[in-house]
Structure 1
Amino acid sequence: MESPAVSFLLFLLITTVLLPYLSSSEPSNVFPANKHPRFLGKHSHPIKPKYQQQYRYETRYFSQQLDHFSFSDDVPRFRQRYLINNEYWAGPSRLAPIFLYCGNEGDIEWFAVNTGFLWEIAPRFGAMVLFPEHRFYGESMPYGSREEAYKNATTLSYLTAEQALADFAVFITELKRNLSAEGCPVVLFGGSYGGMLAAWMRLKYPHIAIGALASSAPILQFEDIVPPETFYNIVSNSFKRESNSCFDTIKHSWNALTSAAQREDGLRQLSKTFHLCRELKSVQDLSDWLDSAYSYLGMVNYPYPTNFLMPLPGHPIREVCRKIDNSPDGSSIVDRIFNGISVYYNYTGDVDCFELDDDPHGMDGWNWQACTEMVMPMSSDRDTSMFPAYDFDYSAYQEECRRDYQVTPRPRWITTEFGGHDIEHVLKFFGSNIIFSNGLLDPWSGGGVLKNISETIVALVAEEGAHHTDLRPSTTEDPDWLVEQRATEIKLIEGWLDSYRQKIKATFNM
């Protein structure tokens, strides 16, 4: 979110995730940076992308209640889009499973085409595949249109994780009833904010889903559970491990950009240097754009070429640093930064100029979520981060949310509703059948569950993994650790299903 994220998303989130409202601990010549990236790409012509349908599915719609927690007779309904494939499903008689991906903060087709793991294992399990879309994203707009849905705080008040989980619960319950498949077990999947939803749904609706694979799910990124500087330290370390000089160039670039902007005609020259479609109004806008790219690069630092957020080469941070370090002799810091950042924003070379505020994947709703319940405090450490040093300023954050949406954030609501504090103790005694997978290159891993909690709540941690790498389509370039991790996930899911069927069989034989 240009004011924050995640998908996510995070949330991203899913995103990921959040509006950035920070107080500077640097001298005044260092401008504040947008500290909460969201999933989006920046192109010269913002248009809704057409997602290549590499997997077979039908697009359908489910009539969903806008407010699941009201008993009024006149509660509006809306059409929730979902994608379905049942060609591999073995059916109710065999208690065949239903694999449900918890849609997060964006167009559901975007997540479907980037979640190859689920599609690839469905035939092995004889599973139905479902991708229900998150309310207020993609085509699942209440009130008939995005304009009406996003009109004000009253209409947006129904955009919450709690309502989204209720959507999934009602949807799958009704679908199973219509198919006479009440006995078929449901396994949840999700990445980033979708991973958070998968874990929370398993805890909140254990009678509906028997287990959840929550990939890159930062469920601990709230209040003071993890240090607020964790996210930006991980991003910075990913650059430093590739090149100390690259890290230093980026760290010194913020002051260099500020100095350049203060020169006569400085903003116009910066706009020209960075090939922007419109002249900069402030150096802050350029700072946000760069900050977002570095953060996204940290998330999608995959070992092979991908096209998730943007078309990128394998090991994209390595390529960015190569461009920065190998710039021609005499290149200024500003020129070096442009050379490096072009790997993210224009690796294909097809973009003539850059817009700083487009949102091709339809994730703008995360700004609202970040201003209400998804409050993830973040800061940047002066010594360990390549970003300008900042402390999270809740007062400024709150003021921005009141200005933009006329609402006051509730920073403790998520942990009140879903937990987070003392997570090891709580889940050990009250949870089961959750896989938390994280890659330590992913900056969101700092807010994830990184160690086993019990025999059935398992943490799979990959030192070289990026943002939900395990959910991505398999390739011939997959490293051994990734192949092994997916094999472990399959084995755990098989165990959940075997245990479920044994209990059902024992019940009927009584």
Structure 2
Amino acid sequence: MASIGIFQQKLVIDFSYWDGKNANVPILVCLGGEAPIEYWLDGIGIIDKAAPQFRALVVYIEHRFYGQSIPFGSLDNAFSSDEIRDCLTTEQALADFAEVIKFVKRNITKHDSPTIVIGGSYSGMLAAWFRLKYPHFAIGALASSAPIFSFEKLPIENEYCQIVARDFEEISKTCANNIFQSWNMIDYLASQPSGIDQLTKTFKSCSPINSSEELKAYLIRLYNFAAQYDGRFNTWTRYFCNKIGNRRNNDILEGISEAVSGLNSFPVCNQIAGNVSFAVDSESIQAWEFQLCSELVTPTSCSGNSMFQPQQFNMDLYVKNCRDKYHIEAHPNWISTYYGGQDIKSSLKNFGSNIIFSNGLRDPLSRAGVLSDISDTIVALTTKQGSHCLDMNLAKDDDPNWLKELRSKEIRIMSQWIKQSTSSKASIVSLNHSIKATITWLIRGRGLVWETLVRVKRGENGWTSSSALGNAPMGCKKGGVIDPFGINGRVSTREDEVISPEPETPSEKGEECYLRFVSKSAICFDPRLEKEGVEILREGVIVPDREGMGAVAEDVECSFFQRRARTGCAMWIMDDKSFV
């Protein structure tokens, strides 16, 4: 497919632990999923533990059509063209990741730096698929809670609701039984005159509930969410059961309503009616729903042997709804065709290596994951108490020992991959992008410095002085630099001199000289200085190597901002290159 446009794709590069351009220093790449990349930036447990141990560079890549990586600025604009919208695919997302990794290796690290891709849930599937499709870009993959067997009519389709029910039963059998009884209570009330009005009032809905099915669907999503993301200490299932477990008869619905209201920070009312989702933003919801229609078709049913009412998945209705909403045909078999589906175990065994599949067995999606070793190098790590992507959560001092041990096992395995990796050049293939990507860097971390190179010419009135420099003169003088910024200014007669963060005694060159300013923060020179004999030759970020030396990154716009981050200062660096 020919290129049909350019969009900005966001990545975050964390230099906090990086040991420089050393062939043995790895790159840990967090693959974005169905949310803005900021979702991951507060910390990923396994990365927080592995990066300092490996002295690794950490790269976070945002998924196309999410966050700030949406073509044409908004999803409405992108989805206004079927041709653009149809570029939201897993295939294209993997190609994006490959391009970004190639970009990082060309511009920051070494081309043969061992790279490990990491993801959770949907991005966990992407990590496993990336290792299969692009083994020359990554030596291994960690796929946390990756439900790669979720597609087509697989035998696990009834097990999701059964595991949800089991999680609640382990907290309180009375609680699970009360939830089971509540469905018939809701149906009965809805069938009575003014019954819907009574349900709207009982559950404090912000707008009238349309039907019992709407209310039940909302509650099912809450219970599923509670079980799937139950945390280290079963926080959410305990919360619900504390509200529901001791209720009797008609008081059961009041207990459920109290639990629902307690989830809101400002419980004036509950947003029950309408298409309600717990995603982070409306555009992410829309993009994810499109993916669920276009290729990520995941049948789910409930057989009735649980705390839920029986419910069968209707593929014909699912396909019709996708056609009505997005004017596309759902492709329930595509993932299985492209990545392997039920046969992916054979594909992994025959063609794959170096993949960790981690799963917590209290996660309802775990039954769609890899729960036993496929080979010596494709291993399954399971925890009986774990929930969804728990190893990806921010590591804390009070994490239970089984969670700490899980992360330790993952690090030991990844360490073996790094030791076994060779320095041979990867075979870089030419990728066929249907949308080019313009990279936006967010660089943060210790060890970065900002370098500005200027040429100063002596004017009729002597060396330049400007209010832009705080009314201080800037220029060359024997024995040093007049440095109005109070930083390590440096003067030299050679523009191509090797960069050093240390100042040294300058040499003079008649009526002009070159000055290098090296700082831990960005210096944005006022363009007006050009009229006063100051010519800005280059400004950019120095990426230091192990000896403290470095090379300036591509020429960049001088714009930066402060944000809350573990390492303090963050700078936007805009690279106006696009790659095919």
TM-score normalised by the chain length of structure 2: 0.69
Match of 1:318 among 238, 260, 277: 238
Greater strand share, structure number: 2
Q: 1:473 maps to what in 2?
A: 394
Deviations 1:332-387 (A, max 9, x none): 332122234445x23xx5332222336561331111111111011110012x2222
1:336 maps to which of 255, 268, 275: 255
The answer as to 2:71 corresponding to 1:71 is no
- Cα distance in 2 for partners of 1:449, 1:339 equals 38
Aligned counterpart in structure 2 of residue 387 of structure 1, from 308, 330, 333? 308
Whole-angstrom distance in 2 between the partners of 1:332 and 1:190: 43
CA–CA separation in structure 2 for the residues paired with 1:404 and 1:386: 31
2:145 aligns with one of 213, 216, 234: 216
**2:152 partner amino acid:** E
Aligned 8 A contact 1:148 1:155 in 2: no
AA paired with 2:242?
R
Residue 384 of structure 2 corresponds to residue 463 of structure 1: yes
Q: Does 1:102 align with 2:31?
A: yes
Amino acid across the alignment from 2:252: I
Amino acid at match of 1:176: K
Secondary structure at the aligned position of 1:461 is classed as strand
Q: Distance in 2 between matches of 1:194 and 1:112?
A: 15
Within 5 Å, which residues of 2 pair with 1:76-475? Answer: 76-113=5-42, 115-151=44-80, 153-179=82-108, 181-304=110-233, 314-327=234-247, 331-342=250-261, 345-346=263-264, 350-356=266-272, 357=276, 361-362=280-281, 363-364=284-285, 365-382=287-304, 384-475=305-396
Give me the whole-angstrom Cα distance separating, in 2, the residues matched to 1:242 and 1:211: 37
RMSD between superposed Cα atoms in Å: 1.9
Asked if the contact 2:112/2:423 (under 8 Å) is kept, the reply is no
Equivalent AA in structure 1 for residue 388 of structure 2: H
Identity of aligned residues (%): 40
| Contact 1:190–1:214 (8 Å) recurs in 2 | yes
Contact 1:222 1:415 in 2 (8 A): yes
Shift of 1:175: 2.0
Q: For the Cα contact (< 8 Å) 1:251–1:386, is it kept in 2?
A: yes
> Quick check: which has more Rg, 1 or 2?
2
Superposition deviation, residue 388 in structure 1: 1.8
Distance 1:112 1:273 in 2: 39
In structure 2, distance between residues paired with 1:180 and 1:229: 46
Residue identity in the other structure for 1:316: W
Assess if the C-alpha contact under 8 Å between 1:95 and 1:501 holds in 2: no
Contact 1:104 1:193 survives alignment (8 Å): yes
Number of matched residues?
419
Larger CA deviation: 467-476 vs 267-276: 267-276
Task: For 2:2, give the aligned amino acid.
Answer: F
Structure 1 segments (4+ residues) deviating >4 Å: 501-504
Give the Å deviation of 1:174.
1.6
Partner amino acid, structure 2, of 1:380 = C
Instruction: Give, in whole Å, the separation in 1 of the partners of 2:51 and 2:144.
Output: 18
Paired amino acid for 2:168: F
Letter in 2 for 1:386: M
Shift of 1:155: 3.2
**TM-score normalised to structure 1 length:** 0.78
- Name whichever structure is richer in helix by fraction: 1
Moved more, 118-127 or 207-216: 118-127
| CA positional deviation for 1:396 | 0.7
- Give the Cα separation in 2 of the matches to 1:471 and 1:360: 18
How far apart in 2 are the matches of 1:208 and 1:502?
13
CA distance in 2, matches of 1:76, 1:325: 55
